[in-house]
């Protein structure tokens, strides 16, 4: 009886040690955040801020105000980070520049703990991306690729070495809907 209790306790400790050593794969989280923040191609910085805040992102800067968006030409950079369990696991940036009725937008979501092998497939299935083009990199540990999504291009950058950083970005011209 005592031997079996020690055996069970030992197995439990091994399981905990294995779980602690296993890296969490944030690939699906990264694709999901991108799909909710950038993929809808928001036309206003306040739209990005509203969605990102709702997903748990916190901005270091002040809020986007109506006055900032009312100018004939806007130039707004919104950045925010996603903290979970006391660790920064993601960040996002959205830069809006140009005329109020059609600014150019660069929107990027990044995360750590992302699998370089899993991310491309998730992008293709979840974001309906097609025509992947793998791009050359100066480092074997860095993978670059781009896809077509409608008339736009998504770009991916992912590192195969810890902390396994990755980002997905899109550039487009925003039009009021």
Per DSSP, the three-state class of 165 is coil
- In tens, the pLDDT along 112-130 reads 999 999 999 999 999 999 9
pLDDT score at 71: 85
Q: Note the pTM of the prediction, 2 decimals.
A: 0.83
Give the alpha-carbon dihedral of 143, 105, 25, 138, to 10 degrees.
20
Strands, sheet with 87-99, edge to edge from the N-terminal-most edge strand: 57-59, 73-84, 87-99, 104-111, 166-173, 152-159, 142-149, 130-135
Tally Cβ neighbours within 10 Å of residue 51: 18
- In tens, the pLDDT along 143-153 reads 999 999 988 99
- Please state, in angstroms and rounded to a whole number, the distance separating the CA atoms of residues 95 and 75: 7
pLDDT of 110 strictly over 50:
yes
Tally Cβ neighbours within 10 Å of residue 59: 15
- In tens, the pLDDT along 154-175 reads 999 999 999 999 999 999 998 7
């Amino acid at each position: 009886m005592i031997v079996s209790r020690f055996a069970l306790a030992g197995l439990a400790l091994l399981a905990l040690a294995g779980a602690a050593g296993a890296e969490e794969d944030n690939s699906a989280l990264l694709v999901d955040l991108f799909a909710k923040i950038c993929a809808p191609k928001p036309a206003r910085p306040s739209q990005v801020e509203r969605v990102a805040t709702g997903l748990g992102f916190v901005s270091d800067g002040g809020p986007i105000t109506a006055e900032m968006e009312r100018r004939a030409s806007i130039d707004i950079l919104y950045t925010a980070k996603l903290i979970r369990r006391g660790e920064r696991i993601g960040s996002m940036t959205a830069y809006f520049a140009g005329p109020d009725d059609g600014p150019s937008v660069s929107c990027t979501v990044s995360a750590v703990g992302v699998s370089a092998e899993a991310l491309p497939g998730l992008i293709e299935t979840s974001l309906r991306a097609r025509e992947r083009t793998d791009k050359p990199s100066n480092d074997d540990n860095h993978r670059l690729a781009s896809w077509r999504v409608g008339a736009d291009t998504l770009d991916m950058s992912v590192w195969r070495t810890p902390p396994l950083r990755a980002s997905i970005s899109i550039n487009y011209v925003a039009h009021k809907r």
